[in-house]
C-alpha cells in the first residue's frame, strides 16, 4: 500500500484522477475521547483524494468533541445530538454526505496507510463496479501493532452471508448510487444493521464488487458486536431475522458456524 500511496506525489495524472471523485467518510462516535484521535488523524493524512469527513456524535458526555475540535480541523461536518443507535447515526451521516463514494470509519478504527483512499479511488476509476472491498486487521486495543486476526474479502461471495459472513464494514466503499437503489440502514437492528444492509445490496440487488488485495483498515478489539456471548447471541438472532426478511435461507446452526471458522482464521481465505 505504501508504494501505491506515494505515487500521487510524482504522477500528476494520478493526482488529476483523484480530484474527479469525492470520498465521503462517515465516523459515528459516542464517548470515545481516547479512541477518536487516531481515527481523525488517519483520515486527515490520506493523500491525493478529495475527502469529506463527517463526524456524527451521539451527544457524548466526555471530551470527545474537544478532541474532534483539536484533531479534526479537516472535518467538514460535525453533528452532535442524541440518536437511536449506531445505524441512526449512519443514516444521519449519509443524509449529510455529498461524495461520489461513501465509507464508514468508526471511532478507534484507522486506515492502514496514507494511500488507502487513493488505492480505492484508482480501483473505482474506469470501472463500473458498485463496491470496492479491502481487507481488515483486527488488532489489540492496548497494543495496536499486535494483530489478532485478519478479515480478507478476497474470496467473498454473496452466498456466504447465509453463514454469517460479510465484508468488514470499515473496509467497504460503495458508490452513492448504491444507497439510492438499496436504501439506508434499518434502525430496528441493534447490532446487525450493516449485515442486513449487505444482504439487500449483495443478495437482492446483486451489486457488482471488486477486491483490493491489501489491508486498508486496522480495527481494535471491542465494539458492540464483540463484547461477550450475550452480544454474540443478539447479533446471531438479528442475522437470522435479517435473512428471513430478505429471503435468504439459513438457520442458527449455519450462522453459528462463523464463530469457529473465524477463530481458525479461515474466513474468506
Using one digit for the tens of pLDDT, what is the confidence trace for 124-139?
998 999 999 999 999 8
* Inside any domain, residue 51: yes
One domain for residues 140 and 269: yes
β-strands 131-139, 147-151: how paired?
Answer: antiparallel
CB 69 within 8 A of CB 39: no
Residue 18 confidence (pLDDT): 40
Residue 108 confidence (pLDDT): 94
Task: State the average pLDDT over residues 42-68.
Answer: 97
* Inside any domain, residue 171: no
Task: Show the cell assigned to 192.
Answer: 446487525
Q: How confident is the model at residue 230 (pLDDT cuts 50, 70, 90)?
A: confident
One domain for residues 136 and 70: no
For 24, the domain range is 1-125
* Inside any domain, residue 176: no
Helix (H, G, I), strand (E, B) or coil at 51: strand
* Inside any domain, residue 174: no
Handedness of CA 84, 74, 184, 134 (dihedral sign): negative
| Secondary structure (H, E, C), 206-262 | CCCEEEEEEEEEEEECCCCCCCCHHHHHHHHHHHHHHHHHCCCCCCHHHHHCHHHHH
Residue 3 confidence (pLDDT): 36
Residue 268 pLDDT > 50, yes or no? Answer: no
Handedness of CA 229, 235, 236, 238 (dihedral sign): positive
One domain for residues 2 and 109: yes
Residue 227 confidence (pLDDT): 54
CB 105 within 8 A of CB 27: yes
* Inside any domain, residue 60: yes
Q: Domain tally for the chain?
A: 2
CB 216 within 8 A of CB 120: yes
Backbone angles phi, psi at 181, to 5 degrees: -85, -40
What is the rounded CA–CA span in Å between residue 230 and residue 111?
Answer: 30
Q: How confident is the model at residue 142 (pLDDT cuts 50, 70, 90)?
A: confident
One domain for residues 210 and 194: yes
One domain for residues 135 and 72: no
DSSP 72: -
One domain for residues 21 and 106: yes
* Inside any domain, residue 253: yes
One domain for residues 232 and 262: yes
Q: How far is residue 79 from each of residues 26, 35, 94, measured CA to CA in Å?
A: 11, 18, 12
One domain for residues 137 and 76: no
* Inside any domain, residue 13: yes
Residue 235 confidence (pLDDT): 93
Task: State the average pLDDT over residues 154-180.
Answer: 95
| Secondary structure (H, E, C), 128-176 | CCCEEEEEEEEECCCCCCCEEEEECCCCCCHHHHHHCCCCCHHHEEEEH
One domain for residues 150 and 63: no
CA angle 158, 51, 153 (to 5 degrees): 20
One domain for residues 40 and 113: yes
Residue 131 confidence (pLDDT): 98
Structure pTM?
Answer: 0.87
One domain for residues 100 and 140: no
CATH number of the domain residue 33 falls in: 3.90.550.10
One domain for residues 5 and 103: yes
Task: State the average pLDDT over residues 245-258.
Answer: 93
Amino acid at each position: 500500500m505504501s508504494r501505491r500511496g506515494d505515487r500521487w506525489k510524482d504522477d500528476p495524472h494520478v493526482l488529476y484522477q483523484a480530484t474527479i471523485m469525492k470520498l465521503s467518510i462517515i465516523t459515528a462516535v459516542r464517548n470515545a475521547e481516547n479512541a477518536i484521535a487516531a481515527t481523525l488523524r488517519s483520515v486527515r493524512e490520506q493523500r491525493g483524494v478529495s475527502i469529506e469527513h463527517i463526524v456524527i456524535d451521539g451527544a457524548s458526555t466526555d471530551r470527545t468533541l474537544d478532541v474532534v475540535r483539536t484533531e479534526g480541523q479537516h472535518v467538514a461536518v460535525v453533528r452532535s445530538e442524541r440518536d437511536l443507535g449506531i445505524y441512526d447515526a449512519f443514516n444521519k451521516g449519509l443524509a449529510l454526505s455529498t461524495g461520489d463514494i461513501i465509507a464508514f470509519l468508526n471511532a478507534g478504527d484507522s486506515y492502514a496507510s496514507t494511500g488507502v483512499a487513493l488505492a480505492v479511488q484508482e480501483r473505482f476509476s474506469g470501472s463500473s463496479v458498485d463496491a470496492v472491498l479491502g481487507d481488515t486487521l483486527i488488532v489489540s486495543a492496548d497494543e495496536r501493532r499486535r494483530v489478532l486476526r485478519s478479515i480478507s474479502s478476497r474470496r467473498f461471495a454473496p452466498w456466504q452471508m447465509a453463514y454469517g459472513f460479510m465484508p468488514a464494514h470499515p473496509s467497504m466503499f460503495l458508490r452513492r448510487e448504491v444507497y439510492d437503489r438499496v436504501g439506508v440502514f434499518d434502525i430496528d437492528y441493534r447490532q446487525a444493521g450493516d449485515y442486513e444492509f449487505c444482504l439487500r445490496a449483495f443478495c437482492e440487488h446483486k451489486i457488482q464488487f471488486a477486491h483490493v488485495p491489501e489491508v486498508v483498515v486496522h480495527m481494535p478489539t471491542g465494539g458492540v458486536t464483540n463484547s461477550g456471548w450475550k452480544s454474540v447471541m443478539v447479533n446471531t438472532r438479528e442475522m437470522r431475522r435479517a435473512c428471513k426478511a430478505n429471503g435468504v435461507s439459513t438457520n442458527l446452526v449455519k450462522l453459528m458456524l462463523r464463530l469457529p471458522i473465524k477463530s481458525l482464521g479461515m474466513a474468506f481465505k
